[in-house]
Amino acid sequence: MKIPPYLKAGDTVAIVCTARKFFEEDAKPAIELLESWGLKVKLGATIGLDHFQLGGTDEQRTEDLQNQINDTTVKAIWIARGGYGTVRIIDKIDFSRFVENPKWIMGFSDITTLHSHIHNLGVATMHSIMPFTVPNAADEVKQTLKNALFGEEIKYEVASNVHNITGNVTGEIVGGNLSILYSLLGSPSSINTKNKILFIEDLDEYLYHVDRMIQNLKRNNYFTNLKAIVVGGMTDMHDNQIPYGQDAYGIIKTIALEYNLPICFDFPAGHVKDNRTLIFGKKGALDINSEKTTLTFID
């Protein structure tokens, strides 16, 4: 797995839309944050474009992302916001220069499409807050992105959850938004989870559909040779008038028990305020015990 060069003061970060629209005025908090870290900011041509829900047409979003990939002065690309739309352009991007000279791609939610596709190209990415979420992000959360970008040590300790299954494993971290992972199954962007640690999170889903997605991941062998599951925010889940019978914890834990996998819940990442940065494609040492969960990224 290629780890893109970490940033240093004076480097340039591009902000672009691959999904929902985002405007220059809304980008000011993110720009100020990056500049406070000594970085330069380049706003992509899609910032300010308004094509219904999207930040420009498919052609405009493709061209903007391609330009930032090919621009050798840009050392990282921060996707402005999620929503929907990245899958519409992923197969139009030429990643050949990117693989030769990789740079950090950052974001979460819909950006799972980019994380997964780029993982299959052998390059690490960052699951992180986005410019859209900067205004509501705690200083500690912003610091995790800075630490990751500048190559500082990343170690998280999280309180134990009653639903956890203990274990101690090491492996590459992969994953992202459960709905997006589900939607990518059968495509070139679907990831291989063998000997890896799978992170999942989601927002605003019905419980029966959570189970449907988990069952489909199961049928695609996502859990067969997996080392562990890390569950982030399963936020604002819904049930029908006739209850499904399990909550999100129970649905996912059932799979962990079936495959004898260590699992931790309520990890601070995803559609939650405490959305800490994860480096997908980098090895992590995961220790889930009765007192706490510790995740340490290692070389």
153 is known as an active-site residue: no
In the prediction, which pLDDT does 134 show? 98
Check if 291 is active-site: no
Q: Which residues contact 36 (CB under 8 A, 6 or more apart)?
A: none
Query: Is the separation of the CB atoms in 231 and 214 below 8 Å?
Result: no
Sequence-ordered strand ranges (E) for the chain: 12-16, 40-43, 74-79, 104-107, 125-127, 155-159, 167-177, 197-203, 228-235, 263-264, 278-280, 283-288, 292-297
User: Across the chain, what does the average pLDDT equal?
Assistant: 98
Q: How far does CA 110 lie from the centroid of its chain? A: 8
- The pLDDT tens digits of the residues spanning 158-216 come to 999 999 999 999 999 999 999 999 999 999 999 999 999 999 999 999 999 999 999 99
Tell me, rounded to whole angstroms, the distance of Cα 270 from its chain centroid: 8
Regarding pTM above 0.95, the answer is yes
Assign 299 a pLDDT band (cuts: 50, 70, 90). Answer: confident
CA angle 75, 143, 168 (to 5 degrees): 95
Q: Is 157 helix (H, G, I), strand (E, B) or coil?
A: strand
Range list of β-strands (E), 38-100: 40-43, 74-79
Catalytic residue among 115, 117, 119, 271: 271
Candidates 63, 172, 201, 205; catalytic one: 201
Note whether 81 and 20 are within 8 A (CB): yes
163 is catalytic: no
| pLDDT for the residue numbered 260 | 98
User: What is the rounded average pLDDT of the residues 99-121?
Assistant: 98
Selection from 211, 217, 186 nearest residue 199 by Cα: 217
Q: Select which of 109, 116, 179, 189 is catalytic.
A: 109
> Closest Cα to residue 252, out of 294, 292, 203, 215?
215
User: For residue 197, how many other CB atoms are within 10 A of its CB?
Assistant: 25
> 156 pLDDT band (50/70/90 cuts)?
very high
Rounded Cα distance, 14 and 140, in Å: 23
Instruction: Identify the band that residue 137 occupies on the pLDDT scale cut at 50, 70 and 90.
Output: very high
User: For the segment 236-291, what is each residue's pLDDT rounded down to a tens digit?
Assistant: 999 999 999 999 999 999 999 999 999 999 999 999 999 999 999 999 999 999 99
147: number of Cβ within 10 Å: 17
The string of pLDDT tens digits covering residues 70-107 is 999 999 999 999 999 999 999 999 999 999 999 999 99
